Amino acid sequence: MNQTTFIQQLPKVELHLHIEGTLEPEMMFELAQRNQIALPFNTPEAVRAAYQFSNLQSFLDIYYQGARVLIHEQDFYDLTWAYLLRCQADNVIHTEIFFDPQTHTERGIAFDTVLNGIDRALRDGREQLGISSHLIMCFLRHLDEDSAFDTLRMALPHKDKIVAVGLDSSELGHPPEKFERVFQEAIGHGFLTVAHAGEEGPVENIHNSLELLSISRIDHGVRCVDDSALVEKLAQRRVPLTVCPLSNTKLKVFDHMDRHNIVELLRRNVCVTINSDDPAYFGGYMTDNFQAVANSHALTPQELAQFTLNAIEASFIDDAHKQRLT
Binding annotation: 16, 18, 196, 277-278
Is residue 103 a contact point for ligand ES4 (CB under 6 A)?
A: no
Is residue 199 a contact point for ligand ES4 (CB under 6 A)?
A: yes
Q: Which of residues 174-213 bind Zn ion (CB under 5 A)?
A: none
> Is 14 designated active site?
no
Q: Which helix (H) or strand (E) holds 92?
A: strand 92-99
Q: How far is the CB of 46 from Zn ion (least distance, A)?
A: 25
Mark the binding-site residues for Zn(2+), compressed into ranges.
16, 18, 196, 277
User: Of residues 26, 199, 200, 232, which has the active-site annotation?
Assistant: 199
Comparing C-alpha atoms, which of 267, 248, 278 is closest to residue 307?
267
3-class state of residue 218 by DSSP: strand
Is residue 20 a contact point for Zn ion (CB under 5 A)?
A: no
* Residue 252, C-beta contacts closer than 8 angstroms, at least 6 positions apart: 53, 54, 55
Out of Zn ion, ligand ES4, none, which partner does residue 56 contact, by CB within 5 to 8 A per kind?
Answer: ligand ES4
Which is closer to ligand ES4, CB of 55 or CB of 128?
Answer: 55
Binding flags for ligand ES4, 253-292, as an x/- string (CB under 6 A):
------------------------xx--------------
Out of ligand ES4, Zn ion, none, which partner does residue 90 contact, by CB within 5 to 8 A per kind?
Answer: none
**Spatial distance between the Cα atoms of 60 and 53, rounded to a whole number of angstroms:** 9
Q: Which helix (H) or strand (E) holds 58?
A: helix 56-66
Which is closer to ligand ES4, CB of 56 or CB of 215?
Answer: 56
**Spatial distance between the Cα atoms of 295 and 210, rounded to a whole number of angstroms:** 33
Query: Pairing relation of β-strands 241-243 and 217-220?
Result: parallel
If you ran DSSP here, which 8-state letter would residue 300 be given? -
Is residue 56 a contact point for ligand ES4 (CB under 6 A)?
A: yes
Q: Which of residues 236-295 bind Zn ion (CB under 5 A)?
A: 277
3-class state of residue 137 by DSSP: strand
Out of ligand ES4, Zn ion, none, which partner does residue 119 contact, by CB within 5 to 8 A per kind?
Answer: none
Is residue 247 a contact point for ligand ES4 (CB under 6 A)?
A: yes
Out of ligand ES4, Zn ion, none, which partner does residue 21 contact, by CB within 5 to 8 A per kind?
Answer: ligand ES4
Q: How far is the CB of 80 from ligand ES4 (least distance, A)?
A: 16
Is residue 100 a contact point for Zn ion (CB under 5 A)?
A: no
The H-assigned helical ranges of 96-219 are 101-105, 111-124, 145-155, 180-188, 204-212
Comparing C-alpha atoms, which of 12, 15, 11, 18 is closest to residue 192?
15
Comparing C-alpha atoms, which of 173, 185, 241 is closest to residue 213?
185
Q: Which helix (H) or strand (E) holds 193?
A: strand 192-197
Which is closer to ligand ES4, CB of 78 or CB of 168?
Answer: 168
* Chain residues that interact with Zn ion, rule: CB under 5 A: 277
